[in-house]
Amino acid sequence: MTRLVVLLADAAKAMGTGEPIPPQPAGVIELDTVGDAIRDAADLIGQRAVALQESESRYRAIVETAVDAMVVIDGDGVVHAFNPAAERLFGYASEAVIGRNVRMLMPEPYASEHDGYLSNYRRTGVRKIIGIGREITGRRQDGSTFPAELAVAEWRAGGRRYYTGIMRDVSERRRAEDALRTSKAEADRANLAKSKFLAAASHDLRQPVQALVLFQATLVERLAGHAAQPLVESMGQALGSLHMLLDSLLDVSRLDAGLIVAHPEDVPLTEVFERLAAEYLPQAGAKRLRLRVACTRTMVRSDPVLLERILRNLVENALRYTDRGGVLLGCRRRGDRLRVEVWDTGVGVEPDKQAEIFEEFVQVGNVERDRTKGLGLGLAVVRRLARLLGHEVTVRSVPGKGSVFAIEMPVVTPAADAGPAKAEQARTRDGLILVIDDEVLVRLGLQAMLEGWGYRVLAAGSVEEAVRHVESGAWPHAILADYRLRGGETGLDAIRAIHDRLNAAVPATVITGDTAPERLIEVREGGFSLLHKPVAAHELRATVGEMLRAAE
């Protein structure tokens, strides 16, 4: 019997597993027949071939049914595979692409640059797409182009380098993004148009309303006890509603435009609470409601003016929607934070409406739009102001039982050596007020009101007329000037001219119905106070008092 010293079995196993042929012992394995060795090797090779065929079938099924386009190229950019999704995406049959350079799937200038990119990558190893991905532009057979996301993987076989690119058409996403950008641009334009409209319309509306407010306030004082007094007071209520509407619209517009800037400082809440109590106790009494204000000596970090506006809106809202019981303004300290809370026993708010009430013109229980219940802008202003200050505003409410609105802010610990605040002294002597306004009715209304309060008044309709008053020897203690005068002049021009003639700064306030951002910024940068028309009598009186105290 022929002895065959051949390691066919081990060789066959090695072929089937990919492992090297193991070393053999010194002795030799004797095979009875060559046929046994061949059969063993054939079985193993057949099993390996079946496994490879199944793996290839799975791979082909994945590639053929993939939703995304798949393209395989070699190191020279020649296409080796082009799946059905790629055929649908580019409009080419695979036979028309395989064997050609992948440049045919790219528009210029990308087609001309592609071979250079491959060459640079082979030389430097610097990746710009491989393993990273990016958005590209593809070119279809009909010459049209489309945006696509591309991911590239690198692999090797038989000593050669290959790249598999997976692509997805993002045209729909791009159109959606473009539509979103267009919509946002349109919304921005609409918002800008709204602001411009409010700026223009509010000025035109405020001029006649301002005159009406001034004359009505003067008539109330002069017709005290007269039979026409109730009629004049009713007219004042109507003007008050109009004033409130214009002010609320202006507040929302200025906040949205970013024209209100917070100036945080240490604020003693005792003073704020005392002012609110003095202002709203009469209003609560008129409705037979109890208003309790629990004062606190705590100091917080906030903008005093804006914080007081927030609390004023919350207290007004509570009184407006409470018919029985009362309102409580108090505080709760939690560590280094303080919650100022406004409690009421009013109508309450349904849970699904508690977020909605902070939107513009939203009111609960006022379907008839009763103006005595406000305009639905107070809480919208509260939310914007709180966001500007970085304070958190919350609401808890039980329908039919009442609500609790709260604002939270940081507590400030006063320095141990802080001395007592200097008491504010009221001005007792008469003041000479220079009023500058080109509208005759507004000028006469201001003059009548100021004289009714015991002040002496100089009235001027232009910069030149105002300067003549000063040149004749008059020295005003305070100036009230309309912003927009005739002939392109402004109240700021008039104030500066007065200061130049006197060689001294006189406290001044600009009164305007103009809400344009550049106007507001100009007045603020000039260092002057600002009032928006229509100015209520109590606002004007308080402003004049502050200017006279500053002049002392």
| Average pLDDT by stretches of 10, the chain with 552 residues | 42 49 50 61 68 65 78 89 91 92 89 79 74 84 91 84 89 89 86 67 69 81 82 78 67 66 84 84 89 84 87 89 90 88 89 75 53 62 88 90 91 58 38 90 85 88 91 89 88 92 90 72 82 80 86 73
Instruction: Write down the pLDDT at residue 424.
Output: 34
Q: How many CB atoms lie within 10 A of CB 112?
A: 10
Whole-number Cα distances in Å, 54 to 13, 61, 98: 20, 10, 24
Q: Count how many Cα atoms sit within 13 Å of the Cα of residue 185 in the half-sphere of its side chain.
A: 6
* List of residues 6+ apart from 473 with CB closer than 8 A: none
Q: Give the model's pLDDT for residue 498.
A: 92
Question: What local confidence, expressed as pLDDT, does residue 203 receive?
Answer: 61
User: Which tokens belong to 354?
Assistant: 């508690």
What is the 8-class DSSP label of residue 358?
A: G
- Quote the CA–CA distance of 383 and 360 in Å, as a whole number: 10
Query: What residue type is 97 in one-letter code?
Result: V
d(CA 198, CA 148): 45
In 3-state terms, the chain is what percent helix, strand and coil (to 5)? 50, 20, 30
So what's the pLDDT on residue 33? 58
Q: Which two tokens stand for residue 543?
A: 């402003």
Instruction: Please compute, for residue 349, the number of CA atoms within 13 A of its CA located in the half-sphere on the CB side.
Output: 23
- Dihedrals phi, psi of 400, to nearest 5 degrees: 85, -10
Tokens of 47: 């099993």
